Structure formats: C-alpha cells, structure tokens
Amino acid sequence: MSGGTGAASLQRRVLLGAVLWIGLALAAGGWVLVELFRDHVEAQAEARLVTAMDQLIAALAVAGDGTVAVAPPPADPRFRQPFSGLYWQVGEAAAPLARSRSLWDAVLPLPADEVADGALRLHRLPGPRGAALLTAERMVRLPQRADALRVAVAEDAAATEAAVGRFTRDLSVAFAVLGRALGLAAAAQGTAVLRPLARLRRRVLAVRQGAAERLDGRFPAEVAPLVDDLNALLEHDRDTVARARRQAGDLAHGLKTPLAIIAAEADALTAAGHAEAAGILRQQVEAMRRQVEANLARARAAASRDLPGARAPVAAALEPLARAIGRLHGREVTLDLPAGLAFRGDAQDLQEMAGVLIDNAAKWASGRVTVTARGDGAEVVVIIDDDGPGLPPDQREAVFRRGARLDEAVPGSGLGLSIARDVAELYGGSVSLEDGNGGACRAVLRLPCAVAGP
Amino acid sequence: MRVLVAEDEPRLTLQLERALAAAGYAVDTAYDGDRAHQLGEAEDYDAVVLDLGLPRLDGVSVLRRWRAAGRTMPVLVLTARDGWSEKVAGLDAGADDYVTKPFNTEELLARLRALIRRAAGQADPVVRVGAVVLDPRGATVTRDGEAVPLTAHEYRVLAYLMLHKGKVVSRAELTEHVYTQDFDRDSNTLEVFVGRLRRKLGAGLIETVRGLGYRVPEA
C-alpha cells in the first residue's frame, strides 16, 4: 500500500484556514473599532471647539472706531499659554483683528474664501511649530461692523491622535491575545475532529500486523461508513483468499485421484511383466505429483501472504499436529509453545511447514522430539529438536533440494523440506537445519510474527 | 483376512480390490460414506482403507462414528489432500496411518500389513508355528522351507488363525474374516478348508476346540 503523501495534511489545512479567517476577522474588526473611536474622539474635540467658539463670539465687542476686542477673554488658561495647543483668532489670516495669546506671533492660516454667515466649518490646518490643528470657524456679523468677522478656534490634533494611538495599541494587544487563543482553539478542535482518523489509522495498522481481523470500535457518523466499507473490503479479501485456497486444493485433489489410478495401473503393469512401461508411468506420475504439490503449497501461501488480519496462534496450530505425528511414528513429542504467540499468516500453512519439519524429526529421532516456539522481535521462531543421529553440515543444504532423500528406506516424498522452505520464504521467513543437542539435528523455522491482539 | 475399501472412484476401487485380493485378502467395497459406515458397523474387518473424500458422508465423519461406536479395527486413511491439516484431522478422528494419492501399491500393502500385525499384537512380519511359516508380504506359506500352494480362501483361513495363534477363533468369527460380504456363506465350506489345510500342513496345526471353534497353537 502506498502512502497518500501527495495531499496536504488535513490538520494543517484546517489550522491554516482558521488562522487566515481569524486574522482577517480581527484585522477588520480592529480597523472598524479604531475608526469608531477616532470619530468619537474627534466629535468630542469638535464639541469642545464649538463651545469655546460660542464663548468667544459672546465675548466679542466692537469699539466705536471699529476695532475688535474680546472681553472677557475665554476662560481656558491654555488660551493664554504660548503654543499650548489651544488657540483662537478673529479676522482674516492676512490681517487678524485679534488672537489668543497662545498663538504668540503665529497666525491661523485660515482660507480667505467666502463663507455664508453663521455657517460652521471644520478644517485641519497646519499650526505653529508644525502641529496639525483641528479648527472650527464661523463668519459672524456684528452690528457695529459692516463686514463679517471670521472667528476660529483651533486645537492641536496631536492629543486626539495620541488617544487614538493609545487605543489602537491597547486594542492590538488585546486582539493579539484573542487571536492566539482562537488559533489554539482551532488547532485543538482540528486535533479533536481528526482524532477518530488517527484511531482508525491505528486500527488499520493492527489489522495489517495481524493483531485484529477487522476494524473494531465505535466511530463518529462521518467516519463510520468508511470503517464499514473497509471492513466489508477486508471480509471480501478474506473470502476471495479462502475461495482461491479452496479452489487450488480442489484442483490438486481432482488431479490426485486420476494420478493414483495411473500409478496403480503402473503397479498392475509391473505385476503383469511390463516393468519398463510401468517405470515410465510411475516416473511421470511422480513428476506430476511434485508439480501439483509444490504449486499448490506456493499458490496457497501466496494467496494468504498479503491478507490483512491474517493471524494463526502457534500453540493452537502445532498442538494437534505434534500429537498426530507423535502417534503416527510412536515418538514422544514435547511442546513448549507460549500462549499468545501468533504467526502472521494462515494456520494451515503454518501446519504444513511445521508438519514437514516435525515429521522429519520424528522419522529420524530415536525416541523424542522437542518443539519450542518463541517470539523474537518481529519473528516467530519454531525450533524442532530430535535425538537422532544428526546430519553433517555439508549435507544440510542438499536435503532442501527438490526430490532429495537421504535414506530411501525411510518413507517420505523428499518434496516436503523444499516446499516448507518455499512457503516460509514466500512469507518472508526461512527454514534451516542446525546443530542440535549432542550432535542431533535441529530445524529452525522463522516466520513473521503477528503482534498481540487488542 | 478381510478388508473394506471405501473409495468413491470406481476405477481406483477396482485396482485396490484386485491388488488386495492378489495379496490374499477378502475385499468388500463401499462407494460412499453411508455405505462404508454401515459395513464397518455391521461387519468385522481386519483393516479398512478409507478415502477421506467420500460422497454423502466424508471419511473423517465415518471414522469418528466408528470409533464412537467402539469399532477398533485398524484404519488406513487414503487422501488426495496431502496437507498436514487433513492428515491431522484423519489421525485425530482415529486413523492409524495414512497414504496420500497417488500411492505406491506395494507401500500401501506394506502399511496395511503392518497395521493388521500391530492390531493382532504381532511384532514379527512373518508368523511361525512349528515348521509352518506364513509370510503376509507375499501371501506365501512354507512348510519346512518348501512353498505350499494354497487357494485364496485357504490362505485367509490360515492367515487369520495364525495371526491370532494361541487364541480360540469361533466359526462365526472366522467366517466374518474370510468371506466378503456378498459371498454365499456356508459353514460346511469352512470345515472343508480346514480339512484341506490339515492335509497340506499337518493335522496338528489347526486344533478343533469342541463347541468353541479352532485354534492354532502358539509354537
């Protein structure tokens, strides 16, 4: 199975989307809030300016010579403090008639345009020392003068700006904290939402390692159909393999009986004196039998090898086998098989491989055969010891050759060991003969281990 | 010596029947599991050759039923499925040995002889009583080293008595083990065979135990 690494991680996608949306939402919200705050602060400043201007207009007095005086001057002490940031001015910018003391030698640069009498105008104007001024102006017509007077009150905008700046800073900090919290929440949610998938992955792994036959457990409604489909697929796989194995068996079975008839006929021919013809027949029957057996064993193992969830408890497979072989040969077969140890494959295949080795050991043993199994990392190791004469190291490989038989007097097809090795290798395992106790023979079968069940 | 062959393939059954008859056995045949089961329950066989792939009732079930009913005759299982799982199933059900198809007729006969011998408690493949030697391997009988020609029925009577030497064998039991199931049995004929055997092998070989049957002495 290939890993689907092409697509971006779901978790990352969820997180990325969440961060993007949270960022956009917070930025837009922040901007709106800052603008509202600015409007509010400016409206307050304007209200202050208008109040100050009303006071100023109320205090305007025109002397008999037409000169303008402000009495009493507006109360706010900042109007008297030079460049305090709060100013008033009466008259055109080119020739002001009166100014607040705070303006000192500066003039509010009011535009000299025509404005309707009484209309209020708001400006931003450059003020003394480069300050930006928020300015309110109005044309006022006094009874003693023919012309309208331009009256303006200005306040340095820096205070307003500073307030907005402070607000923006505070808001940014608050929003940053909020954004972080939301991001973490999104990540946590993503993990929580994806947790069933992680669980599903663990279950699938368990099935692949032979710890479980199917995907168990309750899954959320969104994942459950996928789990059901996977289970159906596993079921279908198992059925297909079982059918394939059965068909391979039936095919072999179907061929064996006709072969038996031909072989028996050959034996009858020998009895009737046609030894040569009978010999040819027997040879061909033997060749066909080998073909059938080798291919059957291989076909069965190949079908089961990659089946997910395949699991064969070693003790359950070997106990009846050892009992039967022991009885058959009149030998004592001692077993030491830990419970819970399982082969990742088909029980029948395990019986075939171990059966060949135990049978072989029982044939050569003088009285006792010992079968030991243990887990060794990812492997199941089955060790079969006999107390027979042993086998010289230089002959050990030879017995795995197809049709090899060390002693024609001991019955056996000679096909067994080579098939056992074939099947073990198909499963990624091995079969070897080694030195046993006291010069006797030891067969070692190594096979992939199924991890412990859930 | 009487044997049941339970095998569904007629040609193979015929071949086995011929080979077994040539080896001196009285042979009954069954083509399906039901029939095999019936015969095995009702008749006394010295051995059974049982195919596991029988129709109607499979061989393992037949065997299990026999053993459950206390039938102890040796059973040689014949199987086309050579996997250990099948052998284990057969042996666990109570088979004494197995032969896989295709088989060598000589090997099958040798295994069958060994089973019958083991069941009768005989260690030696050859049975000796005095100067008479019976060799089931070639279905031959010699007296003082000279071959004595016997008919199939005479051989079976002698073989059964000699394999159970020292024991009294009733006429009924002997009849069971000498004739096939469809043979027209007549106990007079049994006496005719015993008479001929005494003539050919010496009067002392087969004793008549009045009211009980026949006996071949231990030595």
Condensed to tens digits (0 to 9), the pLDDT of residues A67-117 reads 888 888 888 888 888 888 889 988 887 888 888 888 888 888 888 787 777
Cβ of A140: how many Cβ atoms within 10 Å?
A: 17
Task: Mark yes or no for CB contact B104/A328 under 8 Å.
Answer: no
**DSSP-assigned letter for residue A12:** H
- A118 burial via Cβ count (<10 Å: 0-12, 13-18, 19+): exposed
Question: Smallest Cβ distance to A264: which of B15, B84, B85?
Answer: B15
Condensed to tens digits (0 to 9), the pLDDT of residues A422-445 reads 889 989 899 988 887 777 888 899
| Residues of chain B found within 8 Å of residue A318, distances taken between Cβ atoms | none
Q: How far apart are CA B90 and CA A321, in angstroms?
A: 11
Q: Model's pTM, two decimal places?
A: 0.64
Q: Quick one: pLDDT at residue A407?
A: 46
Domains belonging to chain B, first-starting first, are 2-119 (3.40.50.2300), 127-215 (1.10.10.10)
| Residues of chain A found within 8 Å of residue B105, distances taken between Cβ atoms | 263-264, 267-268
Are the CB atoms for A115 and A90 separated by under 8 Å? no
Q: Quick one: pLDDT at residue A402?
A: 62
Say if residue A323's pLDDT is above 50: yes
- A213 burial via Cβ count (<10 Å: 0-12, 13-18, 19+): middle
Question: Smallest Cβ distance to B84: which of A289, A352, A411?
Answer: A352
Interface test with A, best of B8, B51, B67, B82 (most A CBs within 10 A): B82
Interface contact A257, partner B, CB < 8 A: yes
Quickly count helices (H) and strands (E) in chain A: 8, 14
Q: Quick one: pLDDT at residue A112?
A: 79
Q: How far apart are CA B37 and CA A76, in angstroms?
A: 127
Are the CB atoms for B21 and B64 separated by under 8 Å? no
Higher-confidence residue of B131 and A411: namely B131
Chain B residue set in contact with A, beta carbons under 8 Å: 9, 11-12, 15-16, 18-19, 22, 53, 80-85, 87-88, 91-92, 97-98, 100-107
Q: How far apart are CA A95 and CA A116, in angstroms?
A: 20
CA distance B175 to chain A (A): 29
Q: How far apart are CA A207 and CA A1, in angstroms?
A: 13
Are the CB atoms for A358 and A384 separated by under 8 Å? yes
- Tokens of residue A347, six digits: 């029980």
Q: How far apart are CA A291 and CA A300, in angstroms?
A: 14
**DSSP-assigned letter for residue A451:** P
* Nearest Cα residue to B166 out of B207, B125, B203, B210: B207
Q: What is the mean pLDDT of residues A12-32?
A: 90
For the stretch A389-419, what's the b/e string if a residue is b when 16 or more beta carbons lie within 10 angstroms of its beta carbon?
ebbeeeebeebbeeeebeeeeeeebbbbbbb
Task: Mark yes or no for CB contact B19/A289 under 8 Å.
Answer: no
Question: Smallest Cβ distance to B102: which of A289, A348, A354?
Answer: A289
Interface test with B, best of A255, A267, A269, A327 (most B CBs within 10 A): A267
Alpha helices (H) in chain B, listed in sequence order: 10-22, 33-42, 59-68, 84-92, 105-119, 152-163, 171-178, 187-201
Interface of A with B in 66-105 (CB under 8 A): none
Q: Quick one: pLDDT at residue A403?
A: 58
Q: What is the mean pLDDT of residues A261-265?
A: 89
Q: What is the mean pLDDT of residues A384-392?
A: 83
HSE of A341, CA atoms in CB hemisphere, 13 A: 23
- Tokens of residue A309, six digits: 């969830």
Say if residue A260's pLDDT is above 80: yes
> What is the overall mean pLDDT for chain A?
84
- Tokens of residue A7, six digits: 């697509």
Query: What band does A408 get if pLDDT is binned at 50, 70 and 90?
Result: very low
Alpha helices (H) in A365-436, listed in sequence order: 393-396, 416-426
Task: Mark yes or no for CB contact B18/A323 under 8 Å.
Answer: no
Relative orientation angle of helices B10-22 and A224-271, to the nearest 10 degrees: 40
Are the CB atoms for A138 and A57 separated by under 8 Å? yes
Interface contact A294, partner B, CB < 8 A: no
Q: How far apart are CA A248 and CA A309, in angstroms?
A: 21
Residue pairs spanning A and B at CB distance below 8 A: 86
Sign of CA dihedral A382, A383, A386, A390: positive
Characterize the bridge pairing of strands A148-156 and A312-313. Answer: unpaired
Task: Mark yes or no for CB contact A356/B19 under 8 Å.
Answer: no
CA distance A432 to chain B (A): 20
Q: How far apart are CA A8 and CA A215, in angstroms?
A: 26
Task: Mark yes or no for CB contact A262/B106 under 8 Å.
Answer: no
Beta bridge partners of A99: A89
- B171 burial via Cβ count (<10 Å: 0-12, 13-18, 19+): middle
Q: How far apart are CA B16 and CA B10, in angstroms?
A: 10
* Nearest Cα residue to A101 out of A131, A122, A76: A76
Beta-strand (E) ranges in A222-378? 312-313, 332-336, 342-343, 368-376
Are the CB atoms for A373 and A366 separated by under 8 Å? no
Q: Quick one: pLDDT at residue A7?
A: 66
Condensed to tens digits (0 to 9), the pLDDT of residues A146-164 reads 788 888 999 988 888 899 9
Query: What band does A32 get if pLDDT is binned at 50, 70 and 90?
Result: very high
Q: Quick one: pLDDT at residue A41?
A: 92
Give the CA angle between residues A314, B59, A317 to the nearest 5°.
Answer: 0
Interface of A with B in 23-52 (CB under 8 A): none
Say if residue A410's pLDDT is above 50: no
Relative orientation angle of helices B152-163 and B187-201, to the nearest 10 degrees: 80
CA distance B133 to chain A (A): 24
Quickly count helices (H) and strands (E) in chain B: 8, 12
ipTM summary value = 0.74
Question: Smallest Cβ distance to A261: which of B15, B18, B91?
Answer: B15
Task: Mark yes or no for CB contact A253/B80 under 8 Å.
Answer: yes
Q: How far apart are CA A361 and CA A388, in angstroms?
A: 8
Are the CB atoms for A337 and A315 separated by under 8 Å? yes
Beta-strand (E) ranges in A230-331? 312-313
Over its length of 219 residues, how does chain B's per-residue pLDDT go in tens digits? 899 999 998 999 999 999 999 888 989 999 999 999 999 998 889 999 999 888 899 889 999 999 999 888 999 998 887 778 888 888 888 888 888 888 888 889 999 998 988 888 776 778 888 888 888 877 888 888 888 888 888 888 888 888 888 888 888 888 888 887 777 666 668 888 888 888 888 888 888 888 888 988 887
